[in-house]
Structure 1
Amino acid sequence: MFFKRSRFCGALWATERGDCPFSSTGYYSLSGFTHHPISEIDPRHPTEIVTQNLLESLAAENDRQRKTALGEARRMAQQCALKRHHAICQSSIRSSAERAMHYGFFASDAQRTELWQAAYRLYHELTESGHYTPDKIGRISGWSEITCRRWLEFTKAEFAFLRHLMSGNFSTEGFPRHMLVRLGHEYFDLPPKPGGEPVIAIPTITAEMSLEIEELEADSATESKMDEVDDGEDNTNAIEGSELQNAPPPETPKIEQLCLF
């Protein structure tokens, strides 16, 4: 990391590929951290501007945003696993995938693995599940057939780019510049890692999807039972007083003691 002074106070820049705590793009503007007019250069020493407290606060916020992107991608994958894809706009799914992919560049290897595997599931849903063909996308979005086909082609190109990167190959030949900048920002302008990039395993879709479905269906069943209990209480309140007087006394419930050790 280095600090570059400018008429807007300055900015922080990443100097190498890999984990960048202060920003998901490898760049952070400090224009809001000066009280001097724009026409004057902030005379303070860089260490007076870039303090330890500032770096820690930037790292905490960047980590929060990264976790939010991962949680969003995982929730979207769960909805797709429950076959609710017909109610989800394809653009929302791709947006979650792109965000997870974006936050995986300037991250640790473990963080990148989680983010990119989550993004992989979403791209797989859009391009290989058969749920988002041009005609189905058109019915959901109201787009023309040409627009749907172009959108799907671009989504497939992003998915191919993700698989390329997950293999540990970070060569950019054959991929358009605008895709590199939009998803990876300044990452590809920095020198390669001396030890190379990590290889990320392709997630197994079917097994994990089945597990997620069972967990979510169990939660749904529990909520239904709770609703039934609530309905029963409401019905009891509706019984007239005479009926309550004639009702037999409730049985004393049997209490069973479980031996846990």
Structure 2
Amino acid sequence: MADDLLSNPRADRVKAVRALADRSARRRHGRFLVEGPQAVREAVAPGGGCVHELYATPDAAQRYADVLAAADAGGVRVRLATPEVVDAMSADAQGLVAVADLVHAGLDAVVAGAPRLVAVLAHVRDPGNAGTVLRAADAAGADAVVLTASSVDVHNPKVVRSTAGSLFHLPVVTGPELPDVVAALRDAGVAVLAAAGGGAHDLDDLLDVAGRAPQGVPDLAAPTAWVFGNEAWGLRDEDLALADAVVRVPLRGRAESLNLATAAAVCLYASGRAQR
């Protein structure tokens, strides 16, 4: 399963893997880093990512023998390496780091699949937030996630780690402009809801009438795409104007607002519950 132990942290192979933390290197080689046991486990699972190489310390190879066995069964080249080598590749590897092809999904393919729940991130820049929303979308049963132009690179190492493996569970579309995303989803019969603090519709009120919403009121039981905006300024007026409705998450206590990832999780789970 594994070749001889890699022991030189200054080797060209080690430098090449470490370089994938940089966006320009990822674009040039078409590959990215998958760091840590959970993310690597999901990447090498059947139907996961296209993994080319897996590096593991001897201790991690024993502790996560199931991960190495799955990688080996999938034809992934597995290399044992000293802790110094793996740390040189990634400070966040926890003993396991893999190299995989960039994850790509097309917007046309997503809408052709008749999605019922989609998360759209518009100009979201924080990698931790983006990864956490993707993870929440996966947990809520979403059919896809879209990151529009000017959003963070989904292959950024912090985004990948924050998804905890969910990056390999559902289609992720990157790069289209928000008007094009909204038009494609609407043509596919998906209602587009923008999440914003000043929304005309209260999320709890929409849950109360889900499945029997009166005319002019969004029905959370119907196919829905949620649009979430930038962490600092939210959604711009022109972005809000694209949506079929703007929805606010009710704040019962004294908190001024919810952060992006928390608000997204609340909205996505509301739709998931209504559609169940």
TM-score range, shorter chain: under 0.3
**Normalising to structure 1: TM-score of the pair?**
0.23
Q: Specify which structure has the higher proportion of helix.
A: 1
Larger Rg belongs to: 1
Q: Specify which structure has the higher proportion of strand.
A: 2
**Normalising to structure 2: TM-score of the pair?**
0.22
